[in-house]
Each structure stands twice: as structure tokens, then as C-alpha cells.
Amino acid sequence: MEKRLWTDAAWTGGMTLLLFAALWLGPAGSLGHLSGPGDKAGICLYLCAVYALTVAFFARRQRPDRKTLCLAGVVLGLSVLARAAMLDFASADYDSFLCKWVQYFRETGVRALAENVGDYNLLYQYALLLISRLPVYDLYAIKLLSVAFDYALALVMMLAAESAAGKRAALPVLLIVPLLPTVLLDGSCWGQCDTVYAFAVILSLYELQEGRPWRSAAALAFAFAFKLQTIFFFPVVLMGLLDGRFKPKHALAFFAAYLITMIPALLAGRGFADALSVYAGQSMGQYYHRLTYNAPNLYVFFPMLEFASSQEYTWMRFIRGIEWDGTNAYLTEDLFPTLQQAALIAAALLTLAAVAYWLVHRKELRPGMTLNLALFFAIFLPFVLPKIHDRYFFLADMLSLLYAAEREDRRFMPVLVIGASLGSYMTFLTRQRPVDERVLALMMLCALVITARDLLQGMRENRSLRAEGGTV
């Protein structure tokens, strides 16, 4: 066993050295914001460290043969090179928000934690404070944080796939996740951080499936302290409470972990109520001109005062008389808050109806249906809620891949979900709409209907089994 460990370490070290050379001679050499060879070496070393830890964890966990280890090393190495090639791209989000937030932390220091800098929760504000103190170009530092979690997400997805579908699913999922277009674009291109909260949610799911509820609750608290979209997973927590895998005492782990994340801000002078109310500000007052912000959901079929960022459909430029950047003459700004409120109430009623149906039939659910239920709500909630952004289906992207690993007859599910997500990403990143957003919404709706059908069919089978005197 010890000899095997040393051999795997040697192969991992050799592949890491090759990756360093490829980075140095390739993408890292063309980055435009490096002050010298030291910066270049630092970025190459960071990326190589992330790569080496990923390969080492895979080797330690899966005990692959030499051919499989090399295959994993090559694919993961190529994914690292792809990320390095995108580090220079600055999105509108970075230019308009992220760089200004980092600069404010640089000028104000720890005292800035007493304020609400940006619209992220406290954990990301701590990260921005740290980034403001690093001798690295801000854009690179922001993206490199997300890159590390790209591979942490890939590893926890590997564990979750192994738990759900067996060891045969582990390697494919590990190699697919870093190459998924939405994962690749989210952090290293766009500079977003959805892999961070998704990593924690998938970790929570894995720990729950493995019978470790304390760890599951703590991981979920970390996810919720990072992003509000964690609420898309909360129905699974309710299921865990009903079937006994979660108990009320495990809420202590959740609240304790969440409160711990508030300590630095409280020490910096922020009020307790203010620290707790970050999400209230996020959910109440943005984007009054539209019902959806490029998200492939129900509201693309509704009228909007204007498109998000005024992106055009690529084919509209060939039609005379079309003003793609104009506003809807039949709608007014005063009307849209009312429409948004009505949509929110309708979405809440739909959600309550779905949860109520599920609660009434809770005896027909079993722990083996957890992934099915998680995917359903990860699609359903952002599909019916208004003011949803393009990236809010990111958790559904990951769960659809796990669902495809678990069920061979659902291998097409990631094509629908991730394909729709990718189309919505392109709208923001390219400032054009290469695919009609209604097509993307129909793809997501199709995935939602299939997931709901699978869930209902499983419940119906369990009902029949109970009626026959069997056990569920």
C-alpha cells in the first residue's frame, strides 16, 4: 500500500511539472496584467497546486490503475489550461461592480465589513477583503478563488455520484464537471462564484446520503452564508426532517455555523440585525424593468419593458424597422413593480401547492428519491420565481448530472438543463441572443416535467407497494 502511494505521488508530481511548463509557455505567458516573472510564477504555482490536490485526492479515493490516473491527469490538466486562457476577460459585472467593491475594501480596510459592500453575503465580502490585500491583479484573484472551487466541486460531485450510482460513475463525473461549459464560464471567464455555494450544497447532499446529518447541516449553513440560492435545496431538508435523517437538534449545527460566519463583521462594528438582513435587501429592490434577467424560465413568455442589458437577437439586425434596443410602448415603469409582486405571490402559491402535495403524500417518499426531489425543486423554484438571473439554475446543472449518473434512462437530462443554462449565459457574455430565449425556457420546462413525472411515478410505485403490504 505504501509503495502504491509513493508511485501515485510520483506520477502526480510528474504530471504537475508538465502542467507548470505548459502554463508557463502557454496561457500564463500571454496574460496582460502581470507585473513580472514573479506574478507569472505565482499564478502557475497556484493553478498547479489546485491541480495536484485534485489528482491526489482522486488517486487516494479511487485507487485507479496507472492508465486511468494518466487519463484523469490529462483531462484535468487541459481544463486548467482552458481556465488560464480566460483569466484576462473582464465581464461587465467585474467592470461595474466587483473591481469597485475590491477597491473600496482596499481603501477602507476591515472597517468596510461594518457596511454592506455589494449585494453578496458576508463570506464573499471577507473574500473580497482578503483579495484587496493580495499582491495580485484583482481580476485574477477573484477568478482564481472560483477556480479552486471548480475542482472542489468536481471532487464532491465525484463522491456524490459514487454514493448515488456506484464507483463506475465517479471518474466520468469528475472529468465532466470541470469541462461543463457553465462551470468553465462561470468562474474563470465571468468571475462569478456559483461553484462555491454549489460545492457546499452538494457536500450537504452527500453527507446526508451517507448518514452524517451534523456535517450536512454545517455544509448547508456555509452554502446559505454564501448565496441565497441555497434555498432551492431547502425542500430536501424538510424531507430529511420528515423521514428522520435530520432531527430538530441538527438545526443547531446549521445556526451555529451560520452565526460563526457573522463574527468578523460583528467585530468590525456591524449590527447583528443588519448582518442578518443582507438577503432581504437582495430580494426586495432590483430590476424593476423586467420579470426575468436572462433566465430560461416561465417569464420569458411574459412582456417586458426592456430586455436585460438590451441584448439583441442575432437575426434581428437583418430586419428593417426593428429597434432591438427600444422599450415596450405598451408598458410603463410604474406597472412593473406591480407585475413583479403579482408574479411573486403566484410563485409562492405554486410552491406552497407543490410542497403541500408532497407533504400529504410524504409516506410515499423514500430516502432513495432524495436526488429526484432535489433536482425537481432546483428547477421548479427558479422557473416560477420572478427576477431570476441567468446563473440561478447552476445548482440544477449539477444535480442534473448526478441524476443522469444515477439513472441510465435519463442521460439526456444534463443536455436539457445545462444547454438551457448555457444559452442564457451567452446572452450576457456575448451581448447577443443566438437562441430564442423561449426555446431555452421550453428546454428547462421539459426537464422539469420529466423530473416531476419521475417523482410522481416513484411515489405511485411506493403507494402500490404499501397497499400490497410491502415495505417502502
DSSP track, 209-225: HTT-HHHHHHHHHHHHH
How far, in Å, CA of 471 to CA of 363, rounded? 11
How far, in Å, CA of 420 to CA of 447, rounded? 10
How far, in Å, CA of 291 to CA of 310, rounded? 14
Residue spans of the domains in the chain: they are 1-85, 90-281, 285-467
Q: Is the pLDDT of residue 245 over 60?
A: yes
Local structure of 432: helix, strand or coil: strand
Local structure of 291: helix, strand or coil: coil
Q: Confidence band (pLDDT; 50, 70, 90) for 440?
A: very high
Q: Is the pLDDT of residue 311 over 90?
A: no
As a whole number of Å, the CA-based R_g of the chain is: 23
* H helices present in 322-436, as ranges: 335-360, 370-384, 394-406, 413-430
What sign does the dihedral 453-353-301-401 (CA atoms) show? Answer: negative
Predicted local distance difference test score (pLDDT) of residue 4: 76
How far, in Å, CA of 422 to CA of 223, rounded? 23
Owner of C-alpha cell 430516502: 367
Q: Confidence band (pLDDT; 50, 70, 90) for 276?
A: confident
CB 417 within 8 A of CB 370: no
Q: Is the pLDDT of residue 209 over 70?
A: yes
Highest mean pLDDT, choosing among 27-36, 208-217, 267-276, 394-403: 394-403
How far is CA 33 from its chain centroid? 28
CB 146 within 8 A of CB 192: yes
Predicted local distance difference test score (pLDDT) of residue 328: 61
Q: Is the pLDDT of residue 335 over 90?
A: no
Task: State the pTM of this model.
Answer: 0.93
Among the ranges given (8-12, 395-399, 409-413), the one the predictor scored with the smallest mean pLDDT: 8-12
How far, in Å, CA of 331 to CA of 343, rounded? 16
Predicted local distance difference test score (pLDDT) of residue 3: 73
Local structure of 238: helix, strand or coil: helix
Percent of residues, the chain, with pLDDT higher than 70: 91
Q: Which amino acid is at 114?
A: A
Helices (H) and strands (E) in the chain, counts: 21, 4
Q: Which amino acid is at 25?
A: L
Q: Confidence band (pLDDT; 50, 70, 90) for 315?
A: low
What sign does the dihedral 305-310-316-320 (CA atoms) show? Answer: positive
Among the ranges given (31-40, 54-63, 214-223, 283-292), the one the predictor scored with the smallest mean pLDDT: 283-292
- DSSP secondary-structure letter at 322? -
Q: Is the pLDDT of residue 1 over 80?
A: no
Q: Burial level of 306, CB count in 10 A (0-12/13-18/19+)?
A: middle
Owner of C-alpha cell 464537471: 177
Predicted local distance difference test score (pLDDT) of residue 23: 97
CB 60 within 8 A of CB 36: no
CB 73 within 8 A of CB 17: no
